Structure 1
Amino acid sequence: MLKNYFKITVRNLVKHRLYAGINMAGLAIGMAGAIIIFQLVRYHLGTDRYHKNADRTYRVVVDLHLEDGSVEKEKGSAYVLHETLKKEFSYVENSAYLAHKELTFSLGQNGEAKKFLEKENAAFTNSDFFKIFDFKWVTGNPSVLNAPNQVVLTERYVRKYFGNSNPIGKYVKVNNQANLMVAGILKDYPEQTDFKKDIFISIPTLKTVIPEYGYDDWGWIDSNRETYVTLRSASDRSAFEKQMPAFAKKYYGENGAVFHYHLQELSDVHFNVNYGGKIKYSTIAMLASVGLLLILIACFNFINLSTAQGFKRSKEVGIRKVLGISKMQVFWLFIQETAVMTILSFLISLILSWIAIPLMNEWLGTAIPVNIPSDYKSPVFMAVLLAFVIALAGVYPALFVSGFSPLRAIKGLGQQRNRSFFTIRKSLVVVQFCISFVLIALSVVIILQSGYLKNKDLGIDKELVLHVNLPVNEQSRMTTLKNEISRLKEVENVSFFRTPPSSQSGYGGSIKFENREWEKFPTRSRIADHNYVKTYGLKLIAGRNPVASDTVREVLVNRKLVKDLGLKSPQDALNRRLLIGDIGKTGIISGVLSDFNNTDLYSDIEPTVVYSFQKHYRTAGIKLQYLDRSTIQNINTIWQKQFPDHVFEYGFYDEEIARFYKREELASSLTSLFAFLSVFLSCLGLFGLAVFSIEQRTREIGIRKVLGASVLGITTLLSRDFLVLVLIAIILASPVAYYFMNRWLADFAYRIHIHWWIFGLAGFISVAIAAVTVSFHSIKAALMNPVKSLKME
């Protein structure tokens, strides 16, 4: 019986190969999209879940509850925190400190030394870090990180620094300050981790390399320095957090109410963007939803075309029933056809996924694994996907066809119009295009918002500004470096600073204005020299630029700070004293700047103070008049002359700002990609239905042409019904699209407005694509010789 069913299935697929091809292509593309999304979602959800203590591992974060009612969320912590927690709380099993730092490493002597600048791959930590996180040791053990001047490397960095030789006992120099002995080797870390470090330096060495850091200062909280703990049991978390208010009061005194410490689950670190997460949970949910929608669209296509084909096979079904086959046997015959097509489509989807994932990784900058993991989750997902598609795509068409009355079927059910069936078919087309319209509209808004973020006036000049790193503890050579670079004909200005005007890393704290108490609002600090204003095109609206100084004497403030101080005008702030809390120094306000965005555009403009402090300068900003092939090389030559033991590193400021919105670019690319897939699948189904509809009306078209109908008139007639469905979908989907567009834009302090023309553009795209899809066959049918049309049955 099954063998006979299989022969019938193959025969029907070959006979109706156009419809079978459309159905299989739709299912294959839909399932490929679902598989890729499954891989991407699974990759992110599995980040750092492989650590054996993951369920009781936490990052210690702090929410700063300020007097003005605002709350600042900080993932970093004071150095002294990790030691204190382990001493005072018995249920803290391990406490690790991880300090990220851009460092220069060198091997060899003088001119023969090999130098490496590590921007993100190096960190200082203690032995507890490797008790919390599962890094595999090739040689050595965690205890080496409790001794000074020790370093541990991953295998790939051993190859990078030492080639194939054994590095144990050899030395590397860090920042031209300390010689570090290689005391251990680690296996390379897996891709599914946020702890992508290849160089771990022992924690006592931190004080040698960065001596100015406030190691005993509880208020010195830095986002690049994090504390992680494992508790003896996950149930201890509530007890820990209950004791945090008393803990804060003990170490912060009267300011204890400001510091609200709590534990962030390790599983939340990757997703919580408030604490520096990489991707939002909402993005993961959106991707999973899109994967389901792609499958639904593909299945709706299958249902529409299968039920449409059912009319053409009505006589076959009627004859089978007259010959004694039961309704259930007809049902299983069509289910088997669906299963065969689905399995073939699934195999094609695996090939498509294997081809598409590397291309998508390169395009989107993602790291989706090409090979499907071999654990139980993947086979279960594949089995559920197949069963879901077979059930959704196959059950209704099989019930529909098996329900034909034998007598009516033999008489020619295919020539009759069943209004109930056409209502269901039209409803599915409307649903498909509703989904496509929402994704198109959302793509348009995300693309527009991304462009707005890149092009919005930040109150600064970011064009042709080159950023060059400045080595730590090399202040004596900075003046010479600035003077020599300034002499280059293509250089307009040079400024030294800690961070540029708009930056995702910032510093700040409280301030005292004149003899007033500490202000309730926080102030951002920009540590920079007197050329900062000219280099970045900042606008002075009152007063003057500070005089050149290597320490705090005169300061600049922005208009927002003047307003928050309650002063009537910028002139009222001039020549007044300002105590800057984060460095404990007082300066005289010499000028007031027009407001500029000193973070990304997720946040509003903040009160800001700009002051000189040479020992904290880390970057040179070089404003260029023009850029040619020799510019970078000329600057590099001057820089290397002053800092021969360090690595020259540069970047352009406008590119740094563009990277602020990497998440938006990823969201834009993903949404556009899946919007295209949804539209393609919808049009694939529309194409098949148009072919079927036109085949049913071939003789009608011939008669109309004989009676004088024009090609345009026939094309309009054949296309009108389908385009009306698309227009209905646009009307129904517009409120849904508006809701999701508003939800997505809600995270931005600066956002575009949702104008009516966005819906018009999305609607035009939908209608235009549908019109092209339907019109192709409509025009072909309209151009057919009417004699041939009238001969066709």
Structure 2
Amino acid sequence: MLRNYIKIAWRNILNSIGYSILNVTGLAIGMCVTLLISFWVHHQYSFDKFLPEYQSVYRVQRNFNSNGDTLTFATTSLKLADALRTQIPEIQYVAESDWVRNHVLLVGTKKLYVNGTIAGTDIFKILQHPFVKGNADAAFKDAYSIVLTQSLAKSLFGNEDAAINKTVRFDNAHDLTVTGIIKDVPSNATFRFDYIVPSSYIYATNPQIKIDGLSSFSNNNLQILVKLKPGVSYEQVAPKIRNIEHIEKGNTNAMNSYVILQPMDRWHLYSNYINGKDTAGFLSYVKMFSIIGLLVLIIACINFINLTTARSDKRAKEVGVRKAVGSQKKQLIIQFLTESLLLTMIAFVFAFLFTLLLLPAFNTLTQSHISMPADNFYFWLVVIGCLFIITLFAGGRPAFHLSSFNPVKVLKGSFPTGHSSFSRKMLVIIQFSCSVALIISTIIIYRQIQYAKNRPSGYSLSRLMSTNMNDNLQKNFAVLKNELISKGIASSVSTATSPATDIWWHSDIDNWPGKNAAETVEMGTILVSEDYFKTVGMNMQEGRDFSNAADTTSVIFNEAAIKRLRLKNPVGQKITWQEKNYTIAGVVKDALMVSPFKPADPTMFFCVPEPQGNLLYKLSANKETHHSIVQLTEIFNKYAPAYPYEYAFSDQQYATKFNLEQLIGKLAALFAAFSIFISCLGLFGLAAYVAEQRRKEIGIRKVLGASVRQVWVLLSKDFLLLVLISCLIATPVSFYFLHNWLLNYDYRVSIGFSVFVLSALLALSITILTVSFQSIKAAIANPVKSLRTE
């Protein structure tokens, strides 16, 4: 019996090959989009969950009360790490960590800049990456040690066996012994690195760093990871760590700040803090695209339903005859569901192939490393379940609709079509409402990105370059700066503790005029060399720039910092920072150093005579960039021959701040195009069906003198009306969701009425193009042939 069902289903598919192709194409594209989104969503949810005991791992954060608003900072101090390690017995391991950044590794003639970090000795007991060679207990017993990933070990030594116990010169300063090799850190890890050096190495080679770090809770330039003991919950630890900084200070009344922990499984998706609590940051986009994937699949299923029920009159006599010769309704339902399942399976085969072809491009677009889990049993189990669900959803209504026909009425040529016609119209409205909403979303996202891009940044990043400093460059900074300027390569040169497009350090101000009792203010802190503001193109609002490298008792604030401190006539007033007094020399205009979508961060700048970690240099305007880079390479290789010359353009670094929004915009545009295309496939099929149904009517009208335009209007007006209704429905729905999305940005575009008009015109234009082919084809057909056809 099943074989017979399949044979008949296959025959019916071939007999209606045109409609079958439309059905399969729509379903295949819908499934392909859903597969791609499903893989991406699963990848986002899998972040950090590959590590053993990840449920016990937390990141330390600090909340600050700022004029009633709670601000959250990930930067922490070495003193806080020491307090958590010694005073909280419920915490099993604590590891302070520098931020992941480039350091140079030298092995023989090989010299590579590689991303890695410097972390506490217990880091691998917290992040339990599997060791290929060595183990977590012995890896960092020696301060002069390093742990590499497999890929890095192969790059430096050929393979992991050759790397173990060999030496690597770190930043051309000291030789470190390779004491461990771990598997490559997966792409779905929040904390990614290619090697780790123990923090004991830094303390051994520069003891002052540890002395300074342990001297104050205000030296916040690290991140801290902790692992709780088995059976200990965060709720047990939270009250003990909340005020640990103030208890250490001996001031239990100072409650302006407190310490919190964020669980590892929330690091990636819950990155947005509002009033001290982590909320759905990236998770909101993951949910949004999950809904979009489901909507695209539903749109494809609606095509199937519409095209199948629209052709019900073609199958009506078949149903009548089958019922007349004794077929039961159940058998007819099984027959139509078998046909639906066969079409669905064919569509999935094409969807699978499309996904394989598109996955590399999709990975490039989303900067992911997603692979097709074809060897995963659970993947196929889910696929089979989804195929049956899609079969029931897409084929269920046509099956029950067609099998319910009265055989007597059908064989007499009379069967109801009004209800199914109304249902088809409703489904078309749902289809295009979703598609128009996606078009509106794409336009708003694009406008929001452009709005932020056109926002004045507050500094000049054009032709500004940066290079990480090393010991050789620091020793030769004065002659390097002089040579760059004297040869006309750079117009100005400076250094800073942060790149021009970020703030790496936050610290507290001890005292300032008008400070309230127990008030704490933390702000961005940047140590700079002279000519810093000239190099990055920041302008003074009032007061003066640093006079020279010896101007070490002055401080310069940006406008946001002055506002935060509530200072009137700030120039000349005194503040205290790290127990030293400073005079406010000037106020610089705000620059968007962190986010182009938010207000400028309150920031203070201190001039120091020693060169800092980021070398900033402004290329001269009268030289070609590529010629300058050739000269720069020669000069940097002369002063730091052990280091490869690497550089970055600050305007490109600033552009990366739009990466997330641009990704969301590209994905929204891509899926909007897919949904519109699928909807148009259905519209194309329905238009062909309507034209075929009204063939004789059109022939009569043409004989009576109807023009091509009149016939076109006759066949197109109903579809245009449905799409117009869809636009009216999509407008308030999309406005509601987009308005809430824009509230995430302090600097945002307004949603104008023109966006909805433009989206409606675009949807109507696409509809006209889709329907016109069938309408014009029917309008120019020979009416004699139409009227002769029985």
Change (3 A) 1:344 1:469: same
Candidates 268, 275, 281, aligned match of 2:266? 268
2:476 match: secondary structure = helix
Letter of the aligned partner of 1:705 in structure 2? K
2:257 pairs with one of 251, 256, 259:
259
Distance 1:82 1:459, change over 3 A: closer
User: What is residue 537 of structure 1 aligned with on the other side?
Assistant: 537
Name the residue aligned to 1:197.
193
Structure 1 distance, partners of 2:102, 2:365, is: 30
Partner of 2:598: 603
1:653-689 per-position Cα deviation (integer Å, ceiling 9, x unaligned): 1111111122112211211111111111111111111
| Correspondence for 2:477 | 478
Give 1:45 deviation, angstroms.
Answer: 0.9
Partner amino acid for 1:16? S
Which residue does the alignment assign to 1:399? 400
Aligned-partner Cα distance in 1 for 2:327–2:234: 66
1:156-207 deviations in Å (ceiling 9; x for gaps): 1111111247122221121222210111222223333223222121231122
Query: Structure 2 vs 1, CA of residues 749 and 472 (structure 1 numbering), >3 Å: closer, same or farther?
Result: farther
Cα offset, 1:82, TM superposition = 4.1
Q: Return the offset for 1:791.
A: 2.5
Name the residue aligned to 1:424: 423
1: distance between equivalents of 2:530 and 2:502? 19
Q: Which structure 2 segments of 5+ residues have no match?
A: none
**Partner SS state of residue 144, structure 1:** coil
Q: Structure 1 residues 105 and 501, CA, compared in 2 at 3 Å: closer, same or farther?
A: closer
> Do the aligned partners of 1:304 and 1:425 also contact (CA within 8 Å) in 2?
yes
Matched, 1:159 2:154: yes
Q: Which moved more, 1:97-106 or 1:746-755?
A: 97-106
Cα 1:575/1:261, change in 2 over 3 Å: closer
CA distance in 1, matches of 2:514, 2:610: 28
Compared CA separation, residues 654 and 431, structure 1 to 2 (3 A): same
Corresponding letter in the other structure for 2:584: I
Larger displacement relative to structure 2 (498-507 or 461-470): 498-507
Match of 2:703 among 692, 703, 706: 706
Amino acid at match of 2:165: G
- The one of 217, 221, 226 aligned to 1:219: 217
Amino acid at match of 2:385: V
Correspondence list, 1:632-781, <5 A: 632-781=629-778
Q: Where do residues 98-497 of structure 1 align in structure 2 (5 Å cutoff)?
A: 98-107=97-106, 113-118=109-114, 120-127=115-122, 129-130=124-125, 132-164=127-159, 166-208=162-204, 211-213=207-209, 214-220=212-218, 222=220, 224-234=222-232, 236-245=233-242, 247-254=244-251, 257-274=255-272, 280-372=282-374, 374-376=376-378, 378-413=379-414, 418-471=417-470, 474-497=473-496
TM-score for the superposition, normalised by structure 2: 0.93
Distance 1:248 1:555, change over 3 A: closer
Q: Per the alignment, do residues 472 and 779 of structure 1 end up closer, same or farther by CA in structure 2, a change over 3 Å counting? A: farther
Contact 2:25–2:347 (8 Å) recurs in 1? yes
Counterpart Cα distance in 2 of 1:127 and 1:563: 42
Distance 1:524 1:246 in 2: 22
Q: Please list the CA deviations of residues 473-502 of structure 1 after superposition, one character each: whole Å capped at 9, or x if unmatched.
A: 854321111111112335332232222454
Q: Does 1:69 align with 2:64?
A: no
Structure-2 separation of matches of 1:375 and 1:253: 59
Distance 1:48 1:412 in 2: 64
Taking a change above 3 Å as real, the CA distance of residues 283 and 209 of structure 1, as seen in their structure-2 partners, is farther
- Choose 437-446 or 141-150, whichever is displaced more: 141-150
Task: Report the secondary structure of 2:242's partner residue.
Answer: helix
Q: Taking structure 1 as reference, are residues 505 and 409 closer, same or farther at Cα in structure 2, changes over 3 Å only?
A: farther
Shift of 1:516: 5.8
Amino acid at match of 1:492: S
Q: Report if aligned partners of 2:528, 2:606 keep a CA contact under 8 Å in 1.
A: yes
Paired letter, 1:173: R
**Contact kept in structure 2, 1:101 and 1:224, CA below 8 Å:** no
Give structure 1 stretches of 5+ with no counterpart.
none
- Quote the offset at 1:690 in angstroms: 0.9
Q: Which amino acid aligns with 1:20?
A: S
How many residues end up aligned between the 2 structures?
779
Tell me how far apart the structure 2 counterparts of residues 225 and 603 of structure 1 sit (CA, whole Å). Answer: 23
Tell me the SS of whatever aligns to 2:187.
coil
Residue 248 and residue 20 in structure 1: after superposition, are their counterparts in 2 closer, same or farther (change >3 A)?
Answer: same
Q: How far off its partner does 1:641 sit?
A: 1.9
Contact 1:552–1:586 (CA under 8 A) maintained in structure 2:
no
Contact 1:318 1:406 in 2 (8 A): yes
* Cα distance change, pair 102–325 in 1 and its aligned pair in 2 (3 A): closer
Shift of 1:592: 2.6
- Letter in structure 2 aligned against 1:114: K
Contact 1:552 1:585 in 2 (8 A): no
* CA deviation vs aligned residue, 1:587-636 (integer Å, no higher than 9, x gap): 33333323332321343234333221243622222223153321111122
Closer, same or farther: CA 764–373 of 1 in aligned 2, 3 Å: farther
Q: Distance in 1 between matches of 2:643 and 2:348?
A: 54
- With over 3 angstroms needed to count, the CA separation of the structure-2 counterparts of 1:550 and 1:227, relative to structure 1, is farther
- Paired amino acid for 1:142: D
CA distance in 1, matches of 2:377, 2:61: 34
- The CA deviation string for residues 420-476 of structure 1, in whole angstroms up to 9 with x for no partner, is 211111000000111111111111111111122223111211222122222258543
* TM-score of the aligned structures, taking structure 1 as reference length: 0.93
The 1:598/1:318 distance shift into structure 2, 3 A limit, reads same
SS in 1 for 2:549: coil
Identical pairs, percent: 29
Find the residue that maps to 2:213 and give its secondary structure.
coil
Pairing 1:1-150 to 2, within 5 Å after superposition: 1-66=1-66, 68-107=67-106, 113-118=109-114, 120-127=115-122, 129-130=124-125, 132-150=127-145
Distance 1:313 1:42, change over 3 A: same
Distance between the aligned counterparts of 2:666 and 2:626, measured in 1?
32
Matched to 1:577, the amino acid is K
- 2:179 is paired with a residue whose SS is strand
Corresponding position of 2:586 = 591
Q: CA deviation at 1:402?
A: 0.6
Q: Is the 8 A contact 1:57 1:265 kept in 2?
A: yes
Structure 1 Cα separation of the partners of residues 384 and 244 of structure 2: 52
